[in-house]
Structure 1
Amino acid sequence: MAIISTNQQIQPATVQAAQILWNYMKLDKPLAACDCIIAMGSHDLRVAEHAAQLMLEGWAPLLVCSGGLGRLTRTLWHEAEARKFARIARQMGVPFNHILIEDQSSNTGQNIQFTRDLLESKGCKIRSALLVHKPYMERRSLATALQVWPEIEYRVSSPPGTFLDYPNKDITQEELIHVIVGDFQRILVYPRLGFQVTQDVPQEVMNAYEELVRQGYTRFIVNTKAAGEK
């Protein structure tokens, strides 16, 4: 089921501004071996596939699939994101006994906190983790992890692809821009709410964000006065 069904033609200037936000949010850092991979749940099953592939390539010996139902999937699915992710990983060949499922979280902060609690309850001593999320969530997932669980080291990865080829049957380019704008706004406001560490934001990136807000791409902007959802 697609998140929205519109197929509005996006103007080149809008695409350019969205591309600037995409480039900022996607960190493109090199991989390194870690103690576990944390596949952070979402509507995008490509994240599950990428996490499983990294597991099969030997980047970590343990895969944690984290996610209940979040702001996008709660209207689309009845099954927890983590359970969908774990099923994909098993189908791709990841051994059942190398997968843990955390299926109660509903936001990025809970992904990290509940995963930490799960690993501790299993007696897993973790010194490093590879966070796997959507491309435009790399920066925000890392900023959240450094705030919630700062004692360990992190790497971040996401499925390969560009802003232009990311849209598929589940998310249109128009909806993608709305989502990216909302996630970028959280980069700005969540540090002062204690949800993330502060990020430097170049003026070019702020200008692109403000232009997209001016154009009305505000569907997922958070109300900072009532922000309780990470």
Structure 2
Amino acid sequence: MITPEIISLARKLWDYHRMGQPLSKADCILALGTQDTRVAERAAELFHQGYAPLIVFSGGLGKITASIWTQSEAERFAEIAISKGVPADAILIENKSTNTGENILFTQKLLLEKQIEANSFIVVQKPYMERRSFATFKKHWPEKVLYVTSPDLTFEQYIVPELPMELLINSMVGDLQRIKLYPEKGFQIHQDIPEDVWAAFEELAAMGFDRFLIK
């Protein structure tokens, strides 16, 4: 049962994961693969608002999507963007990556192969993966100008049948642990975690929201 106390703790993690950065025009929109197709819709929205002339959709099949889709995340996202009016020739697809680090590294390779010089990026991800995406991108591509955004939804609005509250909280707990541990592994840059946010993490993990924790 999801109690008001659990929701209060989870919202602390949500507010930390979301960076709320203001956006500026960039050379490329980079939409990172996920089961949440609203990320593709957000990328299409930014394209139509004139934020960048190119969208790269990056993602093969991850832990969740491999069990629900046969089509890669990038290909599914590209179809959504085209259905929203984004021209196919404004889209590139990277469909091999299976994690955020590979999203960045394989996109680097793709742009190099296409001889496209992009110096600034708007990365689009799920709201609760903004900070982790920022930290990973800055580790692997520190010289680029970066903005991170996500579908503009509140914590309550984000809950949908395919992403129930329990799965969302487990995911946020797992991502926060990775923000703390991954800099030592060379996967991300360091991010300060406020004491109250880490305390909320520990409480939620102790309550059993440990599905995605690194043991």
Answer whether TM exceeds 0.5 for this pair.
yes
User: Which residue is 1:114 aligned to?
Assistant: 106
TM-superposed deviation, 1:15? 0.5
Counterpart code for 2:122: L
- Give matches, 1:125-140, under 5 Å: 125-140=117-132
User: Which residue is 1:22 aligned to?
Assistant: 14
User: Which residue is 2:199 aligned to?
Assistant: 207
Please state whether the residue corresponding to 1:70 is helix, strand or coil. coil
User: Which residue is 2:146 aligned to?
Assistant: 154
- What's the TM-score once normalised by structure 2's chain length? 0.99
Pair 1:169-2:178 in alignment: no
Q: Which residue of the other structure, out of 187, 191, 195, is the alignment partner of 2:187?
A: 195
Counterpart code for 1:52: A
User: Which residue is 2:33 aligned to?
Assistant: 41
Q: Which residue of the other structure, out of 58, 62, 67, is the alignment partner of 1:66?
A: 58
**Alpha-carbon distance in structure 2 between the residues aligned to 1:222 and 1:61:** 38
TM-superposed deviation, 1:150? 1.1
Please state whether the residue corresponding to 1:38 is helix, strand or coil. strand
User: Which residue is 2:133 aligned to?
Assistant: 141
TM-superposed deviation, 1:204? 0.5
Counterpart code for 1:14: I
TM-superposed deviation, 1:209? 0.3
TM-superposed deviation, 1:151? 1.7
Once the two structures are superposed, residues 140-175 of structure 1 have per-residue CA deviations (whole angstroms, 9 ceiling, x without a partner) of 000000001112110011001111121112110111
Pair 1:90-2:94 in alignment: no
**Alpha-carbon distance in structure 2 between the residues aligned to 1:202 and 1:169:** 31
**Alpha-carbon distance in structure 2 between the residues aligned to 1:72 and 1:188:** 23
TM-superposed deviation, 1:222? 2.0
Please state whether the residue corresponding to 1:165 is helix, strand or coil. helix
**Alpha-carbon distance in structure 1 between the residues aligned to 2:67 and 2:19:** 29
Identity of aligned residues (%): 48
Please state whether the residue corresponding to 1:31 is helix, strand or coil. coil
Pair 1:221-2:213 in alignment: yes
Q: Note the residue ranges of structure 2 that are not aligned, 5 or more in a row.
A: none
Please state whether the residue corresponding to 1:101 is helix, strand or coil. strand
Provide runs of 4+ in structure 1 moved above 6 Å: none
User: Which residue is 2:44 aligned to?
Assistant: 52
Please state whether the residue corresponding to 1:37 is helix, strand or coil. strand
**Alpha-carbon distance in structure 1 between the residues aligned to 2:11 and 2:145:** 29
**Alpha-carbon distance in structure 1 between the residues aligned to 2:63 and 2:214:** 11
User: Which residue is 1:6 aligned to?
Assistant: none
Count of matched residue pairs: 215
**Alpha-carbon distance in structure 1 between the residues aligned to 2:128 and 2:112:** 29
When structure 1 is superposed on structure 2, of 165-174 and 195-204 the one drifting more is: 165-174
Q: Note the residue ranges of structure 1 that are not aligned, 5 or more in a row.
A: 1-8, 224-230
User: Which residue is 2:24 aligned to?
Assistant: 32
